Amino acid sequence: MSIQLQRNRGRPTGSIASIHRVRRDYRFSQETLGHIAYGRTLKSNEIDETAFVEEAIVHYTAFLAGEVQVNQDVVRLQIQVSDLEHDLARTQQALRLVETRAKQPSQSVLPVRATLNKPIYQILVRHDPGACPSLPDGYDFLYTQKNEQPCPVHQAFAAACAIDQARRRIEVLKQVPGFTQIWLTKNGYGTPRDNWQHKEGIWQRMD
């Protein structure tokens, strides 16, 4: 049930009491009234309820107009946390893939242990709108960023290997028709390296 905000009659008081006020009837929910009460305690109840609401409206309007800046340190830390979460998820996925291959009868234990000491490289690709291109043997779409516009991003390769081997894999993928961008990442879905884009009929390195 909504509750009508009660205002004191007579001469207004508060930090902006000298400003002429026009009486209007507003109805606030109990939750909103709770926010108002909590906000006033943060200001040690220095202003009355009406003055607090007025200051809150002024502050929010300035925020919408871009005059109030968000704490850049908080934004930067949020981005770093998001990147670390992506890196961790990609690394865990690649390690699971290596462990799965290690259990296959055709592979020995010694080579797999050796690869665990190498960095994990991932190859990501972007293709023209439409159906996904067919990948050559030894490649698979391990991860798909479905919400990417205008076309999904796919992870086509992930393994613990030397960078020269990963780059040879990129050269093979360049031969697949339909790809518009191919790039390499190390130990997770992080900063691109060896970033190639297909422009004007040729592959051009962008980094």
- pLDDT at position 14 is 47
Helix (H) or strand (E) holding 38: helix 30-42
- The residues near 135 (Cβ < 8 Å, ≥ 6 apart) are 141, 156, 173, 176
Q: Looking at 122-131, 141-150, 190-199, which range is the least confident one?
A: 141-150
Q: Over range 96-125, report the average pLDDT.
A: 66
Q: CB–CB of 185/122 below 8 Å? A: yes
**The token pair that represents 34 in the structure block:** 């709770």
**pLDDT tens by residue, 141-167:** 776 665 555 567 888 888 888 888 888
Q: Over range 112-134, report the average pLDDT.
A: 75
The Cα–Cα gap between 201 and 180 comes to 10
The Cα–Cα gap between 205 and 66 comes to 38
Q: Which residue has the tokens 């972007």?
A: 126
Q: CB–CB of 153/141 below 8 Å? A: no
Of 172, 148, 147, 164, the C-alpha closest to 156 is 172
Question: What average pLDDT does the chain have?
Answer: 75
Does 199 have pLDDT greater than 70?
yes
pTM for the model: 0.42
DSSP label at residue 155: E
Q: Over range 179-199, report the average pLDDT.
A: 83
Q: Which residue has the tokens 């993928």?
A: 173
**The token pair that represents 108 in the structure block:** 């020995």
- pLDDT at position 16 is 47
- The residues near 30 (Cβ < 8 Å, ≥ 6 apart) are 1, 2, 3
The Cα–Cα gap between 148 and 151 comes to 6
The Cα–Cα gap between 28 and 38 comes to 15
> By percentage, how much of the chain surpasses pLDDT 70?
72
The most confident of the ranges 11-15, 78-82, 154-158 is: 154-158
